[in-house]
Amino acid sequence: MITREEIQNIAILSKLFIDENELDTLTQDMAQIITFADTINTAVEELEDFEDINNLSNVFREDEVLPSYDRSLILKNVDGGENGYFPVKKRV
Amino acid sequence: MTYELVSGLETHIELSTKTKIFCGCTTAFGSEPNTNCCPICIGLPGTLPKLNHQVVRYAIMAGLATNCQINNISKMDRKNYVYPDLSKAYQVSQFDKPLCKNGYITLDSGKKINILRIHIEEDAGKLVHERGDTFVDYNRGGVPLIEIVTEPDFRSIDEVKEYVEKLQLIMKYVGVSDCKMQEGSLRCDVNISVRPQGEEKLGTRTEIKNMNSFTFMAKALQYEYDRQIDVIESGEQVIQETRRYNDDTGETESMRGKEDAHDYRYFREPDLVTISTTDEEIEQIRSLLPELPSAKLDRYINEYGISATDAAIIAKYRKVAEFFDEACEGVKAQKIVSNLIISQIFRRFPTDGEKEDFEISITAKMLNDLVLLIDNGKLNMNLAKSTLEKMLDTGKPVSELVSEKDLSGVDESALRQICEEIVSANPSAVSDFKNGKTNAFKSLIGGVMKATKGRADAMLATKILEELIK
């Protein structure tokens, strides 16, 4: 069963702020989501293990240089990117 | 009480591919910030990565060169963490199915340092801190890395240093990376713990991140070893955490509590398909591997009879070793080649970096021609040395610098006649020598060399002169 502490830890790792009084509800919601996802474990396995759902392998590109984007496009959605960098907001 | 150091290493090496791991942007170093970027590099939603085939080949080469097994089936995973050097909030790496596993590198002592795994991943962007603000350059984001993880097999700082030097040399030989520590293309994270001598159980470890110089690494390890002993001796406990080495203070300082693997919530990268490599493909890559440094060293010492010190100097630089090998083609006394390189050619390449790049004005074939003449007794050592100087100055082959006449040398009877003339023309030098002034002999030899315009074999001239004076 998922615990309040686990929810709190996930929030810390994701840099999310969670109010103390939200924790119980979130814990319950998350528990429900996990229980729902767990139903897949009850499925009967008749087929071999597969490595990936697409059953594809080895989709590669060769090592050939393509033009990069113009920097103005790369920084288009950025406030304060005038010096050519992405500025980082101070973290709380 | 004495304490034993226990250390393991994670080495990140930037691969020398032309393009990034998941897109066609260049990996060139030193470009203007954010100019080698595309929507994949900055992690825009809706973009799809496509794996660079060369990254897989290089990683397998690195694995084979360090005695690893190659996993036939491998895959990419997402390693989740929130930090601005990665715009996606995850790094595409490998978790439970790395490309290579269970290798080792042998130290000079014969001790094996076991390599747990080698996996491929993308490098993160670079944070620039300026006047209290932080900025990100994503040019490095997506540059392909291999991470080489060892078991905690190191018991001394010297072992760590030797391993990194050997690893660096192997990767340069194989050609998968330039391994330039100063440019950050080889960086080490060091795990370190201490335990009382004789104790089996491992102590709590700390990790020192991102060291890109041997000097820093040695200092940081020493500091951390002493610090952990102090903590234990004062009755406290070492905390498992990530630390950074501050070269200004010479100390390591706490960065953050160490994440456990489950904190990264690894899961399969759904945008990339399985990497499958057949045994035939692995053997094909193995056949492309060049002779590795340890094998070269062994050949130089045991087959060529070169001293271990000289052999190590030659093998230390890939380009020098290749030049040396080519210059030795058909040569009976390879030692002459190594001597000419170390004592003469290296004078023009004083620094480590210059030897590394080894931009020499003559080809290895030209040196080979010169040495074959020495080998066949057509050119004496003195003349060979001065000819080599001219060759290095002009880049011209020996045939353009030495005449047929020079090459004919001076045969023994002609040389004997010249020696006789010199002896009779310099009675004072002869009597000085007989009276114990050994320096007087040099002037006689000098006279012979002058008379033969340096073509005489100095050893033979010495022998004849000694006979005459006796």
What is the pLDDT, as a whole number, of residue A73? Answer: 95
Using CB atoms, which residue from A53, A54, A68 is nearest to B36? A68
- Give the pLDDT band (50/70/90) at residue A92: very low
* Partner-chain contact B37 A69, CB within 8 Å: yes
Task: Looking at the structure, tell me whether residues B295 and B425 fall in a common domain.
Answer: no
Q: What percent of chain A has pLDDT over 70?
A: 88
Task: Looking at the structure, tell me whether residues B317 and B227 fall in a common domain.
Answer: no
Which A-chain residues 18-77 have CB contacts (< 8 A) with chain B? 51-54, 56-66, 68-69, 71, 74-75
* Partner-chain contact B33 A85, CB within 8 Å: yes
* CATH of residue B416: 1.10.10.410
Question: Element (H or E) spanning B91, and its range?
Answer: strand B90-93
- Chain B residues with beta carbon closer than 8 angstroms to that of A57: 273-276
* Partner-chain contact B82 A15, CB within 8 Å: yes
Which of B284, B309, B327 is the last residue in one of the domains?
Answer: B284
Give the Cα separation of A6 and B262 in Å (integer): 12
SS (H, E, C) B335-355: HHHHHHHHHHHHHHCCCHHHH
Task: Looking at the structure, tell me whether residues B137 and B268 fall in a common domain.
Answer: yes
- Give me the domains of chain A, ranges plus CATH numbers: 1-43 (1.10.20.60)
pLDDT for residue A41 is more than 70: yes
What is the pLDDT, as a whole number, of residue B76? Answer: 96
Phi, then psi, of B252 in degrees rounded to 5: -100, 145
Residue A63 neighbours by CB under 8 Å, 6+ apart: B17, B18, B19, B52, B53, B54, B55
Task: Looking at the structure, tell me whether residues B267 and B349 fall in a common domain.
Answer: no
Task: Looking at the structure, tell me whether residues B232 and B337 fall in a common domain.
Answer: no
* Alpha helices (H) along A1-92: 4-13, 23-38, 71-74
Using CB atoms, which residue from A13, A63, A87 is nearest to B17? A63
Task: Looking at the structure, tell me whether residues B218 and B279 fall in a common domain.
Answer: yes
* Partner-chain contact A59 B128, CB within 8 Å: no
Range of the domain at B146: 3-284
Task: Looking at the structure, tell me whether residues B187 and B233 fall in a common domain.
Answer: yes
Task: Looking at the structure, tell me whether residues B441 and B301 fall in a common domain.
Answer: no
- Chain A residues with beta carbon closer than 8 angstroms to that of B273: 52, 54, 56-59
Which of B284, B300, B332 is the last residue in one of the domains?
Answer: B284
Task: Looking at the structure, tell me whether residues B217 and B203 fall in a common domain.
Answer: yes
- Name the residue in chain B with its Cα closest to that of A6: B263
Which of B284, B300, B323 is the last residue in one of the domains?
Answer: B284
Q: How much is the ipTM here?
A: 0.77
* Partner-chain contact A68 B268, CB within 8 Å: no
Please compute the mean of the pLDDT values over residues A56-65 and round it to a whole number.
94
| B398, B369 contact by CB (below 8 A) | yes
Give the Cα separation of B242 and B220 in Å (integer): 13
CB pairs under 8 A between A and B: 114
Domain count for chain B, please give it.
Answer: 3
What is the pLDDT, as a whole number, of residue A52? Answer: 63
- Chain A residues with beta carbon closer than 8 angstroms to that of B53: 60-63
Low-confidence ranges of chain B (pLDDT < 50): none
| B221, B5 contact by CB (below 8 A) | yes
Task: Looking at the structure, tell me whether residues B224 and B337 fall in a common domain.
Answer: no
pLDDT for residue A84 is more than 60: yes
Task: Looking at the structure, tell me whether residues B225 and B323 fall in a common domain.
Answer: no
Task: Give Cα separations from A41 to A30, A37, B75, B107 (angstroms).
Answer: 18, 8, 23, 48
Task: Looking at the structure, tell me whether residues B251 and B170 fall in a common domain.
Answer: yes
- Give the pLDDT band (50/70/90) at residue A48: low
